[in-house]
């Protein structure tokens, strides 16, 4: 009798075999389902309220008051809608849970096509975020050091601060499952709310300077156009946490009487209220205080009081430590699934130690090589986040639920798809232009 071949690394798990079930219970996403609704709240806050909030005043300076406020509110509403869709689709087939983004993609588009559509985009997003957070963590550590020391300390290269930031991830990445990083994620969520509040309260306390201007930052027509594109990428990055939504929901228990979507959505609503409390005051007050001269990290524009700025930068460090782990865990899940289910490695601590350490080392190396913080936000914000956050959930919804043509649901989804595609096409242009400008004068490993 011919033996059945082992399942490929990320095949749809429609009829799990005993071997697959044992592997599922070992993989980091599906090994624990004990989370409560508030886990959904702080995991989503940690995933979404990243250091991107600190670039929102800068984005406002490239958009202006009217367009800036419209973009902030519109993208907040669109991403709340698409997040609700993903929560609903997690158990759109009775008795089955789509614990991973690519599994939902396989259900919507087919086994092979679903993998090719979702996995490359999801990996670009999650690996890209981890690289950006390496840069953010190192930059904030350097700012903390420079603020505390002033002129009395020897200048230390950003490269070394990125390496210091990466060192903790070689340890934290060994936590076995998504559920096991809950404490780190909670601390990160609290820190995100704290440093966002510090950013706008300190800006309000500083007040509006007499020479503040609210015209667009750029003075030339090409500069204004490219600045607009880059600002769209900044805002897109700030709202994008959908790549880990299904993985977060996978940690919540589910029964026919109480499906996981109920506690998950409750937590998501709380998370989006916190997002609004972080984003809108920080972007509006920061732009009001500094106008079109605001830095691409509003904390850099604030120089006093020193102790408060130092504290805020250390809060950013704590937050991006948690955010890095949130976005890295699905990548660990994919890597370990490939190694165990395709290459037949035995599930073990040594396998995790080597594979996860190699991944952390890779993201550290790329961050050290290309530490263009503001430009990276713009580029990854549009190119990678727009599909997986703004329109791919809508396409899946149309394929799975097939709403009646010209119905409210049909129109709503197509509007989101059109806006999301425009965002994907336009926003990376400004970020790529800025990366090219930075690369002209940048010395590697400085």
pTM, whole model, 2 decimals?
0.89
| CB-based burial, 130-147: b 16+ in 10 Å, e otherwise | bbbbbbbbbbbbbbbbeb
- Report pLDDT for 380: 65
Residue pair 140/320 in contact (Cβ under 8 Å)? The answer is yes
DSSP type of residue 255: -
Which CA distances in Å does 167 have to 117, 160, 162? 33, 11, 9
Residue pair 229/427 in contact (Cβ under 8 Å)? The answer is yes
Could you please report the per-residue DSSP string of 179-219? GGGHHHHHHHHHHHHHHHHHHHHHHHHH---TT---S-S--
Query: Per-residue confidence of the chain (446 residues) as pLDDT tens digits?
Result: 334 444 444 444 444 556 667 788 889 998 888 899 999 999 999 998 876 788 899 889 999 999 999 999 999 999 999 999 999 999 999 889 999 999 999 999 999 999 999 998 898 889 888 988 898 899 889 988 988 887 778 888 999 999 999 999 999 999 999 889 999 999 999 999 998 998 898 889 888 877 888 888 877 888 888 888 878 877 877 887 889 999 999 999 998 889 999 999 999 999 999 999 999 999 999 999 888 888 777 877 776 678 888 888 899 899 999 999 999 999 999 999 999 998 989 999 999 999 999 999 999 999 998 776 556 666 665 666 788 999 999 999 999 999 999 999 999 999 999 999 988 888 777 667 777 776 666 666 66
Residue pair 338/318 in contact (Cβ under 8 Å)? The answer is no
- What lies within 8 Å, CB to CB, of 329 at 6+ separation is 28, 29, 177, 178, 181, 244, 247
Longest dimension (CA), the chain: 84
> Domain boundaries in the chain?
33-439
- What lies within 8 Å, CB to CB, of 64 at 6+ separation is 214, 215, 216
- What lies within 8 Å, CB to CB, of 339 at 6+ separation is 345, 351, 355
- Report pLDDT for 265: 96
- Report pLDDT for 65: 92
- What lies within 8 Å, CB to CB, of 302 at 6+ separation is 199, 202, 203, 206, 309
The architecture (CATH level 2) of 33-439 comes to Up-down Bundle (1.20)
Rounded-to-integer distance, Cα 437 and Cα 420, Å: 27
Phi and psi torsions of 2, nearest 5°: -75, 135
- Count CB atoms within 10 A of the CB of residue 196: 28
Which CA distances in Å does 403 have to 79, 265, 408? 20, 22, 9
Phi and psi torsions of 211, nearest 5°: -95, 15
Rounded-to-integer distance, Cα 384 and Cα 236, Å: 10
Rounded-to-integer distance, Cα 261 and Cα 259, Å: 5
């Amino acid at each position: 009798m011919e033996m059945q071949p082992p399942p490929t690394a990320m095949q749809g798990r429609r009829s799990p075999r005993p071997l697959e079930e044992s592997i599922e219970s070992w993989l980091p996403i599906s090994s624990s389902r004990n989370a409560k609704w508030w886990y959904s709240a702080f995991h989503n806050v940690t995933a979404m309220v990243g250091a991107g909030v600190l670039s929102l005043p800068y984005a406002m300076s490239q958009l202006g008051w009217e367009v800036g406020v419209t973009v902030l509110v519109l993208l907040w509403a669109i991403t709340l809608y698409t997040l609700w869709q993903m929560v609903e689709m997690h158990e759109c087939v009775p008795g089955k849970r789509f614990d991973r983004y690519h599994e939902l993609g396989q259900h919507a588009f087919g086994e092979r096509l679903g993998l090719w559509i979702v996995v490359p985009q999801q990996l670009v997003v999650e690996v890209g975020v981890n690289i950006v957070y390496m840069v953010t963590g190192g930059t904030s550590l350097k700012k903390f050091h420079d603020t505390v020391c002033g002129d009395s300390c020897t200048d230390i290269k950003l490269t070394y601060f990125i390496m210091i930031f990466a060192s903790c991830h070689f340890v934290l990445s060994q936590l076995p499952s998504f559920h096991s990083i809950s404490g780190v994620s909670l601390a990160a969520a609290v820190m995100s709310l704290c440093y966002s509040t510090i950013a706008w309260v300190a800006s309000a306390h500083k007040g509006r300077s007499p020479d503040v201007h609210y015209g667009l930052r750029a003075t030339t027509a090409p500069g204004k156009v490219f600045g607009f594109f880059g600002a769209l990428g900044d805002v897109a990055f700030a709202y994008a946490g959908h790549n880990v939504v299904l993985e977060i929901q996978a940690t919540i228990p589910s029964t026919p009487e109480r499906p996981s979507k109920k506690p998950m959505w409750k937590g998501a609503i709380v998370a989006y209220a916190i997002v609004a409390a972080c984003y809108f005051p920080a972007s509006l007050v920061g732009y009001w205080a500094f106008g079109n001269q605001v830095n691409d990290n509003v904390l850099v524009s604030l120089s006093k009081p020193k102790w408060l700025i130092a504290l805020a930068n250390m809060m950013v460090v704590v937050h991006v430590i948690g955010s890095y782990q949130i976005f890295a865990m699905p990548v660990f899940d994919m890597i370990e699934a490939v190694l165990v289910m395709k290459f037949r490695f035995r599930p073990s601590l040594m396998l995790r130690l080597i594979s996860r350490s190699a991944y952390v080392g890779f993201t550290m190396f790329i961050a050290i090589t290309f530490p263009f913080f503001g430009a990276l936000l713009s580029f990854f914000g549009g190119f990678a986040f727009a599909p997986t956050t703004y329109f791919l959930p809508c396409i899946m919804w149309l394929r799975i639920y097939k709403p009646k043509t010209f119905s409210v649901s049909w129109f709503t989804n197509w509007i989101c798809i059109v806006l999301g595609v425009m965002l994907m096409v336009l926003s990376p242009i400004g970020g790529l232009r800025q990366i090219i400008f930075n690369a002209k004068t940048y010395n590697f490993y400085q």
